[in-house]
Structure 1
Amino acid sequence: MEANGGIEIERKFDVDELAVLPGLTELPGVHAVAEPMIHDLEAVYFDTSDLRLTVAHITLRRRTGGDDAGWHLKLPQGGGRRREVHAPLGKHSQDEADAVPESLAQLVRVYVRDSPLIPVARLNTTRVVRALVGAGGETLAVFCDDRVQAERLGHEPASAAWREWELELVDAPEDLLDAAQAVLASAGILVSQHPSKLARALGDRFPATPAPNRKRPTPTRPAATVLLASLREQISVIRTQDPEIRQQRAGSVHAMRVATRRLRSVLATYESLVDPAVVQHLRTELGWLAAVLGGARDEEVLHHRLASLLDHEAPALLLGPIRERLETRSGTDAGSAGRILVAALDSGRYFRLLDALEDLEVPDALVATPLFTAAAGQDARVVVPALLKKEWKKLRSAVRHAAKTVPGPERDLALHAVRKRAKRLRYAAETAHPLNPERAARVSGFAQKLQTILGDQHDSVIARDRLLQRGGVEAYLRGENTFSYGRLHALEQLRAADAEAHFWKAWSRRA
């Protein structure tokens, strides 16, 4: 990936044309101010026609001139910080110059989806840069005196001009920004009222972002607040992990898969609070996404499990090219699953799912809309415990069914159903944590224990299938020695039996 960058920490100040530069050497740690350097900059800002990136406080621009010419993507990190990612300029036609580099486009696709990125503003800036130098000759920060000519592009074009100062940290503590703000305030110069140059250029097209009316769930507040808090948390995880998956970051597929499963599970538990058609549609689409994510994640888990088995075997017991065969097949399947996943994340189906999930991120004050049922407005202390009780009953019923099945494939399927019920109970209990932390932790902890035990049992089922069908049978047909496949299959069978025994013991000790 060609993009690179870092964390941007800066502060902007509004000034008029007659403002005089303050004594910057008065700032703590500043030993000298370097000679000024003048740059003529042009920046073209890109967004969707409805400014989705701007709404999300994301800035994407192509800058020419100065010592940092290129594509710049600025992503909010909280606390006034922004992560800045760069990519080089194109070297060809204007059409190619207006094409956002894929290395940056993939970082914002979860917001942009299938809408095109177009120029929305152009800024021409005459910048005077002064480096603030420490006693050791290091650059602590840079002070920029900008005179800006801005054009708003699109169907409502407009223009504006202004002057502003900007102080950006390089190798200094954040205290320097506070000290500079105090010095400037004493001269009547205040922090800019505009969040960015782009906001000022867009003028009345800049989206208003009022503080959301999101109340923390409590026993006496509507039950919908419990559901909404959980949904928002998991939707946020999906937004965060989407670009991580596209960059093949470790753990990202697992994190999004868990968030997707949590959403699907919580919607099932709280289905009585939401329009049934909405619940059915979302659970179907989330099930599709979880399956696609699962293809990539399951292959990763299986690869590590089989590799661990091989690593713990004596070399004398590994007959034939078993390691090479398993690794080759795992690599092939993982590559295929990865390509399927990337295609899914670029599909209209995925983008429409994101649209539908956003419809659920309504302010708490709007739970009385047709999206929600009358039960959503009832006290959480009445509704939520009843929903958890129903999940407990479903788990007990699944366990009773598993106890009646015969060992083998039928028992494996039944225990897998128990695992899914335990997982749903766990997620439901976690949503209730704000209402009764102690009880919620006890229930979710027990459910998670069952889920973990049966997860190992289910992984063993999958591993045995790989060893038998894709290992032993294929090896036999190639005329290779199958002894090691059978031995590993038997070891996995023992692991599954141990896990099942552990489960029944844990269940018998439940509170």
Structure 2
Amino acid sequence: MTAVAHREVERKYEVPEGAESGVDWSGLPGYTVSAEAVEHRMEAVYYDTEDMALGRRSVALRRRRGGADDGWHVKFSEVTGRQEWQVPLLRTPDRMPAAVRHLLAGLTGGEPLRPIATLRTVRQVQTVSDAGGDEVAELAADVVEAVDERTGTARSWSEWEVELLDGSIPEERQQEIFDAVESAIFAVGGRPSNSRAKIARALGAEDGAGAPAADGSAQEASSPGERPGRTTGTDATGQKGKQGKKGQKTGQKASQKTEKKTDKTGKKTGKKTGKKGRKAKGTGPEVLRTVLDGLAEQLVLWDFKVRLDAPDAVHQMRVTSRSLRSVLRAAGPFFAGDTAQELDGRLRELAGALSGARDAEVTAELLAGRVAALDGRVGPAAAEVLQRAAEEQSQRAAAAVRRRVTSREHLQLLADVGEFAAAPPLTEECAELSAREAADALVHRALRKVVRVAERGAAAEEAGETAQEQRLEHLHDVRKAVKRVRYVDAVLDRAGFRPGKSLRRAARDAEDYQDALGRVMDSTVVERWLADRAKALQGSGEDRYAVGLLHGAEVSRLHAGAEGGSEVVGVLLSQLRADLA
């Protein structure tokens, strides 16, 4: 069964009753509308879990019959707009395909999907063509009768839609098409519709019933880290958040109070609190619940994107798993029992499984630049063969990740992370901390880890342990510790909590060195791939010259990176010692 995905670009309109027959399509600038409308009678059944897990996450699932696109449709939001993923109906149309269940398994947590609304639509479709005769859009006049299957409430309405047939055309061209069609619609009193989607109307989200809009457009998440319907912390405007789980109030007004004191972690706090809408009041438990809840949701959303094979999804899922581990470790003293450690170990296994795919992505991304750096010594034919090999390996690695996320163990991990985030086992020590003190403690512990790792490397250098392999291992450890600082700092910032000024400065200082260390680690990935490629070509009869050139250049690059990296770590260590003094 083949799934098809495409970007959906459409606009909705409200047209006065009886005005449909008065629309004059003959004067559209540069476009024509088909004279005869084709009628479709469609039935769409929307599905969700009992707690509306899909709708809360800007995802909609429907089974449609009738019209030109019978099948199961999953709609979701991307940065580029709404997307639609489709699979055909089975021989038994009501039966949900396994591909649909697997795609949504992480979002639903294994909970059953049940009908939440049934929409029956009579659609009159006309096509819009450009001056060359090519069809560019469909104009649909819909009369809808809907039933909210949860309550039995019936609703009906009419609306018009204009949908582009190719959602990938340039925005200027899109606007030109919409402008042409709207000139005729607006001439008879039509106007843009305030309705987000048919399912939103069907569930009463637009008539005061207050139901979650399962189409997802009602509660767009601007990033996988933001949890639709369960906002925590402060939003981008610094406004109060909504109620979190179990009625915990997660949004707090930022205080502008000036204070100088030593907190419970033994560090001086910044002079001012609550700058730029950030929180100054709150509790330590609030910090951890908010941060963990956001990361647990982010993990679920990136799981969905991995299943879709979305660009960068594997990398972002790996970043999220590492962010969770960073918080679990930085907040280690604040968790009772060993559940946090156990989760850390399972998340480490997930990150390890994702690493192979990420390394393959990095190789495929960097290889063209490595070829270009040799100024034509690697011919285009050889470069093309190598690039294709790297991309094929990346695709195989990504496919392996997609198979892994369908396992019971993976789904259980998502569930356990969510359960832990909802009610983390916090100590009495944590309960006594303010939000600022907790944020300080997390960042301070992460920074101290960088210092300890860097000091071990410096001691090894002084002892004469300067073999390249040892240096690279040390640089890798330092980079991991620095990234842990970045992850902790980033999730606190996203949740609306800020550590004191001195700790923020120290975190920024540590992060400044990450790129330099990252380039060295990327070089180790490329060098290893080229070495493996050279071995694979032995005895094959294929030309190994290009691989040899590239590998030699990468070895030189790696050697220089190891030498320079040790100096970078030395400077970083001095900087952090001064920052934390």
Pairwise TM-score range, normalised by the shorter structure:
0.7 to 0.9
- Quickly say closer, same or farther: Cα 1:63–1:465, change in 2 above 3 A: closer
Report the 3-state secondary structure (helix = DSSP H, G, I; strand = E; otherwise coil) of the residue aligned with 2:243. Answer: coil
Aligned residue number for residue 455 of structure 1: 518
Distance change in 2, residues 1:488/1:422 (3 Å): closer
Counterpart selection for 2:122 from 115, 121, 127: 127
Q: What's the counterpart of residue 365 of structure 1?
A: none
Contact 2:43 2:65 in 1 (8 A): yes
Distance 1:353 1:325 in 2: 39
Structure 1 partner of 2:561? 495
Alignment-mate amino acid for residue 125 of structure 1? R
Match of 2:429 in 1: 375
Tell me, what secondary structure is at the counterpart of 1:257? Answer: helix
Give the C-alpha shift of residue 448 in structure 1.
Answer: 1.5
Question: Aligned residue pairs: how many?
Answer: 474
Q: Secondary structure at the match of 2:82?
A: strand
**Distance verdict in 2 for CA 1:11–1:379, change over 3 Å:** farther
Measured in 1, the distance between the counterparts of 2:522 and 2:192 equals 60
Distance apart, 1:334 and its partner CA: 3.0
Alignment of 1:430-449 (within 5 A): 430-433=490-493, 434-436=497-499, 438-439=501-502, 441-449=504-512
Contact 1:43–1:123 at 8 Å: present in 2 too?
Answer: yes
Offset at residue 106 of structure 1 (A): 5.8
**In the alignment, which residue of structure 2 is the partner of 1:52?**
53
Report the alpha carbon displacement of residue 263 of structure 1 after superposing the two structures with TM: 1.3
From 405, 418, 433, the equivalent of 1:345 is 405
SS of corresponding position for 1:75: strand
The separation in 1 between residues aligned to 2:78 and 2:14, in whole angstroms, is 18
Q: Would the aligned equivalents of 1:12 and 1:166 in 2 still touch at CA under 8 Å?
A: yes
What is the distance in 1 between the residues matched to 2:455 and 2:293?
A: 35
Residue matched to 2:6: 4
In the TM superposition, residue 6 of structure 1 has moved relative to its aligned partner by: 1.0
| TM-fit CA distance, 1:86 | 5.4
Matches within 5 A, 1:216-295: 216=252, 218-295=279-356
| Structure-1 separation of matches of 2:138 and 2:527 | 60
**Residue 414 (str. 1) matches residue 474 (str. 2):** yes
Cα shift readout 1:320-375 (whole Å, capped 9, x = no counterpart): x986886576456434422321111111122112212322454xxxxxx6733223
Question: Is 1:146 the counterpart of 2:136 in the alignment?
Answer: no
- Residue 245 of structure 1, CA deviation: 2.7
- The aligned amino acid for 1:396 is V
Give 2:458's match in structure 1, choosing from 355, 378, 403: 403
> How far 1:444 moved relative to its partner?
2.8
Matches of 2:376 and 2:19, distance apart in 1: 73
**TM-score, normalising length: structure 1:** 0.73
- Aligned equivalents of 2:197, 2:572: Cα separation in 1: 60
Counterparts of 1:18-57 in structure 2 under 5 Å?
21=17, 39-48=40-49, 52-56=53-57
2-structure distance, mates of 1:334, 1:373 = 43
Number of the residue aligned with 2:266: none
Which of 437-446 and 401-410 deviates more?
A: 437-446
- Amino acid aligned to 1:446: D
Q: Work out whether 1:109 is the aligned partner of 2:145.
A: no
Match of 2:370 in 1: 309
Q: Deviations over 1:396-452 (max 9, x none)?
A: 221111012111222322222222222222233334543357545423322212222
Partner of 1:187: none
What is the aligned partner in structure 2 of residue 215 from structure 1? 251
User: Among residues 94, 97, 101, which one is paired with 1:100 in the alignment?
Assistant: 97
Q: Which residue of 2 aligns with 1:195?
A: 200
**Could you tell me whether the CA contact under 8 Å between 1:43 and 1:62 is conserved in 2?**
yes
Could you tell me whether the CA contact under 8 Å between 1:44 and 1:122 is conserved in 2? yes
Give the match's secondary structure for 2:282: coil
SS class of match (1:52): coil
Partner-residue secondary structure (3-state), 1:435: coil
Aligned residues of 1:10 and 1:169 also touching (Cα < 8 A): yes
TM-score w.r.t. structure 2 length?
Answer: 0.65
SS at 1:195 equivalent: helix
**Is residue 44–residue 62 contact of structure 2 (8 Å, CA) maintained in 1?**
yes
Distance 2:554 2:78 in 1: 47
Contact kept? 2:40, 2:66, Cα under 8 Å? yes
TM-superposed deviation, 1:298: 1.0
Q: 1:72, 1:84 within 8 Å by CA — same for their partners in 2?
A: no
Picking from 399, 415, 420, the partner of 1:355 is: 415
Partners of 1:312 and 1:162 lie apart in 2 by: 64
CA distance in 2, matches of 1:158, 1:347: 35
Q: Match of 2:350, SS?
A: helix
1:269 is displaced (CA, Å) by 0.7
CA distance in 2, matches of 1:389, 1:453: 23
The aligned amino acid for 1:93 is R
Secondary structure of the residue aligned to 1:62 is: strand
Name the stretch that deviates more: 236-245 or 296-305: 236-245
Amino acid at match of 1:298: D
Q: Is the Cα contact below 8 Å between 1:295 and 1:337 reproduced in 2?
A: yes
| Cα distance between partner residues in 2 of 1:11 and 1:271 | 54
SS at match of 2:566: helix
Secondary structure, counterpart of 2:292 in structure 1: helix
Q: Which runs of no fewer than 5 residues in structure 2 stay unpaired?
A: 164-177, 214-228, 231-241, 245-249, 253-277
- Higher fraction of helix: 1
Q: Aligned equivalents of 1:247 and 1:273: distance in 2? A: 36
Q: 1:193 to 1:437 in 2, by over 3 A?
A: farther
Pair 225,414 (structure 1): closer, same or farther in 2 beyond 3 Å: same
Tell which deviates more after alignment, 458-467 or 274-283.
Answer: 458-467
Alignment CA distance shift 1:144-1:502 (3 Å):
same
Q: 1:493 to 1:476 in 2, by over 3 A?
A: farther
Deviation of 1:286 (Å) = 1.5
Structure 1 residue 198 displacement after superposition = 5.2
Question: Does the 8 Å CA contact 1:215/1:225 hold for their aligned counterparts?
Answer: no
Alignment partners' CA distance in 1, 2:500 and 2:124:
54
Instruction: Please name the residue that 2:445 is paired with.
Output: 390
For the aligned residue pairs, the C-alpha RMSD in angstroms reads 5.0
Q: Percent identity?
A: 22
Structure-2 change in CA distance of 1:8 and 1:197 (3 Å): farther
- Partner deviation per Cα, 1:438-494 (whole Å, 9 max, x = no partner): 5454233222122222222233334444455x2566666779679634454234312
Cα displacement (A) at 1:87: 2.8
Give 1:288 deviation, angstroms: 1.4
- Output one character per residue of 1:108-140: Cα deviation in whole Å (capped at 9) or x when no partner: 3331354565x5257363637599x9xx9x999
Q: Tell me the equivalent position of 2:267.
A: none
Distance 1:125 1:77 in 2: 28
- Bigger CA drift: 255-264 or 302-311? 302-311
User: What code does the residue aligned with 2:441 have?
Assistant: A
Runs of 5+ unmatched residues, structure 1: 14-19, 185-189, 363-368
SS at match of 2:358: helix
| Alignment check: 8 A CA contact 2:280 2:436 kept | yes
